[in-house]
Amino acid sequence: MDKLTEIRRPIEAELKAYRELFEGTLTTENPLLRVALNHLLQRQGKMMRPILVLLAARSVGRVNEAVLHAAVSLELLHTASLVHDDVVDESDRRRGQKSVNALLDNKVAVLVGDFLLSKALYHAAQTGSGRVVTWVSELGQTLSDGELLQLANIDKTSISEEDYFEVIRKKTASLFETCAKCGAMLAGAGEGDIRRLREFGECVGMCFQMRDDLLDYDNQHDTGKPSGNDMREGKLTLPVIHALLEAGNSEMTEVALKVRRAEATGEEIDALVRFTIDEGGLVYTMKNIDKMAYNSIAMIPSLESDSPVADALRKYVAFVVGRDV
């Protein structure tokens, strides 16, 4: 049995109910919108964020109708942000398939993203919780803020870990954090458990993004993107940032700044990838992931050690970081 199946086992029935609600909300009579939504339904992925909402709820109580609406709301918001990001980044692929803007065009993609955002707020309201509506609204602002920060960094001549962590905390970790605290709160958790699960989600989200950044250097597995793709998109992630700061190599730093400005050649990017590996950028990033993963496990609410939900949460962390923890 694979790890993802083991993670889902304690919430199989709840996950089925979530899928039905999610797919039901993406039905429409509009033919153009239907094409886009059906395309998005084909690439739902591993459902890591809805799983986190459901597991967080189960760790402190039970999954009720409000929890399911929160899970749908957050996945819709996440999907909307990806649709809009693909337009901003002029990306034509997402998870190995055509992006909505490539399948149709930018105008349609923007409107599809807006439709999904509206649906996300509708499902947030269906939870009956003003706190959830506030959290989902704040999350939308935070995700946009993170994207704008990343764009603003293009013109910076300085390179720092602080800038990197601020961006991934807003663009990725904030979503996991909100998933966990919404699930906990709607299942009736006290403020202490809500705080612990919020911190759990934030740590897992940071791990998720750092691990995804490491995959950009993986030539051994089919990761859905070629090695160095982040740099080709103008992104400097933790492995290369650490390598540059550690080595103090002015030539490679200039190449990195060219990467930000989308002026680097393929040969320069390949050289920067090799430099990052040689200077220990990957090892350093994995150490950061392991530390954050350890912190996340410490935040799991006090459950019996052999509890299926506690075990699923630990395996969730292990799955995100790609190793046993």
Residue 268, domain CATH: 1.10.600.10
Element (H, E) at 160: none
Q: What's the pLDDT at 163?
A: 95
Single-letter code of the amino acid located at 269 = I
Taking the alpha carbons at both ends of the chain, their separation in whole angstroms is: 18
Query: Across the chain, how many H-helices and E-strands are there?
Result: 17, 2
CA-CA-CA-CA dihedral for 163, 141, 192, 309, to nearest 10: -90
Coil, strand, or helix at residue 97? strand
Element (H, E) at 94: strand 93-94
CA distance 217 to 168: 18
Element (H, E) at 93: strand 93-94
Asked if residue 182 lies in contact with residue 267, where contact means CB atoms within 8 angstroms, the answer is no
CA distance 320 to 210: 10
Asked if residue 50 lies in contact with residue 18, where contact means CB atoms within 8 angstroms, the answer is yes
Q: What's the pLDDT at 223?
A: 45
CA distance 298 to 325: 12
Q: What's the pLDDT at 123?
A: 97
Beta bridge partners of 98: 93
C-alpha 72: how far from its chain's center?
15
Other Cβ atoms within 10 Å of 106 Cβ, number: 14
What is the domain count for the chain? 1
Q: What's the pLDDT at 222?
A: 46
CA distance 70 to 91: 29
CA distance 47 to 44: 7
Q: What's the pLDDT at 71?
A: 98
The sign of the dihedral angle between the CA atoms of 44, 45, 48, 51 is: positive
CA distance 146 to 152: 10
Mean pLDDT by 10 residues, the chain (325 residues): 89 96 90 80 85 96 97 95 78 69 78 90 97 97 93 88 96 97 97 96 96 82 58 92 95 95 93 95 96 92 76 95 69
Q: Quick one: tokens of 196?
A: 């612990």
Q: Quick one: tokens of 261?
A: 């400005």
Coil, strand, or helix at residue 325? coil
CA distance 48 to 86: 20
Beta bridge partners of 97: 94
Strands annotated E in 89-201: 93-94, 97-98
Q: What's the pLDDT at 224?
A: 47
- Half-sphere exposure for 189 (CA within 13 Å, toward CB): 29
Q: What's the pLDDT at 29?
A: 86
Closest listed residue to residue 269, CA positions, set 284, 257, 282, 281: 257
Strands annotated E in 17-166: 93-94, 97-98
Q: Quick one: tokens of 88?
A: 């901003």
Radius of gyration of the chain (CA): 20
Q: Which domain holds residue 153?
A: 3-321
